[in-house]
Amino acid sequence: MNLEIPKKFRPIINNAQQVAESVFRPISRKYDRLEHEYPKELDMLGSVLDGFNDGDPANSAGAGQTGKGKVEDDGKVKNGANMSTCLGAMELCRGDVAFLLAMPRQGLGNAAIAAVANEEQLERFRGKWAAMAITEPGAGSDSAAIRTTAKPDGDHYVLNGEKIYVTSGARADCVVVWATVDPSKGRAAIKSFVVEWGTPGMELARLEKKLGIRASDTAAINFNDCRVPKENLLGNPEVDTGFAGVMETFDNTRPLVASFALGCARASLDRLRELLAKQIKLDHERPVDNCSAVEAELYRMEADWEACYWLVVKAAWMADNKQPNSVEASISKARAGRMGNEVTLRCAELAGSLGYTEDELLEKWARDSKILDIFEGTQQIQLLIIARRLLGLSSRELK
């Protein structure tokens, strides 16, 4: 096992570090206070993340898709789009998670399009900024409870329902909407549709006020007899097929969200070490039992961070090499999401009064980290997925 990051990714990592420290952090507090105001500075930085995938949605996180076949399996080890995107995103999140979520053309919907769209759709939606709409008032982590409907009508599907907590929902060019074509069929009838803003019947209901990631807009969207062309359906149109393909998006985006948590936690750890530099001198060769309580706590958090880092790298590497990674993706998300919460909160606590005030970004990173343990599947859902996979049980057999 080669534990060195490939040299070809170093420019991406270095550029992301510079953006995080020189661009994101100086304006982070400003847009945290100005919730819902779009950070105009991101327009000129959109090309930074476009560069991660060479401007092609088929190369974005999600394109390394294990079941799609877009990565040629020639027996050679590959370090591709999933790993590069995770490593770059981790560095950017050392600056501000919300800015990365608000970056043009880098929405979760873009990953879904890259994962399951056909070649014609990939070309048609190239350059579009796509959000993802899954959650409903009565359907959070249980996708089978989705009640937004999509009924065939000639050359269109007619969508009716309400979606909430849509990240970048108002700013994106289009939204990938999960809807059921037959509520009696449960998960098997759930399909995803690309709905572009401006389509009659698609309405912005509100923008949510949030604990963290305030620079990222989170929208509620209503669909009232919204007619969507049939060619905007992603994946297989047949009922009872295709849901596994839709879910495969998460095998690539869950490690990505885990990398967000790694970046946020790394920022907190680095800043805490700077603040405590005059009080303690870290010595990793000294037994932990001979250290002060603060030193021992820092060592523990560093170890937790390191463990999560390699879980994310492994899950991303498996996706790039067409290896089934559902278990690893959920493990990395579950572990890193929880670690991010614990580390950022503990760092704010150990920094004393500085960690609780707006003089430092520690309190903001602690607030931002909470969502990283929730979206893309909560901690509890990830553990349920892992248990099902390891025990070989279906969702009906293990709830």
Catalytic site positions = 376
CA distance 180 to 288: 55
φ/ψ of 218, rounded to 5, equals -125, 115
- Rounded CA Rg of the chain: 21
CB proximity list for 123: less than 8 A, separation 6 or greater: none
Name which of 184, 196, 266 is nearest 228 in CA terms.
Answer: 196
The β-bridge partners of 149 are 160, 180
CB proximity list for 218: less than 8 A, separation 6 or greater: 165, 166, 167, 169, 207, 208, 210
CA distance 41 to 23: 8
Residues making up the chain, counted from first to last:
399
136: DSSP letter: B
CA distance 50 to 60: 9
Q: Which two tokens stand for residue 328?
A: 């690893």
CA distance 214 to 297: 30
- Which residue has 């572009």 as its token pair? 196
Q: Which two tokens stand for residue 239?
A: 């009922």
Q: Which two tokens stand for residue 129?
A: 């900024």
CA distance 379 to 141: 10
Task: Report helix, strand or coil for 230.
Answer: helix
CA distance 242 to 246: 6
CB proximity list for 293: less than 8 A, separation 6 or greater: none
Q: Which two tokens stand for residue 249?
A: 């998006």
Four-point Cα dihedral 70, 76, 77, 78, nearest 10:
-30
139: DSSP letter: B
φ/ψ of 67, rounded to 5, equals -105, 0
